[in-house]
Amino acid sequence: MGLFSFIKDAGAKIFGGSAKAATSDDLQKELAGHGLPSDVRIDVSGDKVKVTGKAMTTEEAEKIILALGNTAGVAEVESELIVNKEAPAAVFYTVKKGDTLWKIAETHYGKGQGAKYTEIVKANTPPVKNPDLIQPGWVLRIPPQG
């Protein structure tokens, strides 16, 4: 699928306050904690993560990439996931200071479409558990309009 960049210090902190990259085993547990398949291979080299294996859908592959990349200490995810059921890819968006999900929805779906923020929440659960608490630096999936 390609190479994806993340803000190294913006993601979930598996080790408390540290920005140290997690190990392959820690990242496997992170995927399992998000309800994502953990039968993919994850290789960590410094702040870079390479993931290989199979995903059932494009959405599942994107969620795997985001679960890995939105972890503190990870700056890049290289994906060599093979997708069984291809679908249009989502847009990845990095949250900026002052953003709201409503504003992001209007930016991507058009003026007056802010209520579609619920589609963004669904596409990013987890890590978005509370739509009012998105963090600058998070990378979110913006699904294509249906």
How many domains does the chain contain in total? 2
Q: Considering the entire predicted model, what is its pTM?
A: 0.83
Rounded to whole angstroms, how far apart are CA atoms 86 and 26?
28
Looking at the fold, whether 59 and 128 belong to one and the same domain comes out as no
Other C-beta atoms within 10 Å of 145: how many?
11
Looking at the fold, whether 9 and 73 belong to one and the same domain comes out as yes
Looking at the fold, whether 21 and 77 belong to one and the same domain comes out as yes
Looking at the fold, whether 80 and 95 belong to one and the same domain comes out as no
Question: pLDDT tens across 98-145, in order?
Answer: 999 999 999 999 999 999 999 999 998 766 777 788 888 989 999 998
**Domain finish residue from 85, 110, 125:** 85
What is the span of the domain harbouring residue 132? Answer: 91-142
Averaged pLDDT for residues 4-16: 66
pLDDT for residue 110: 95
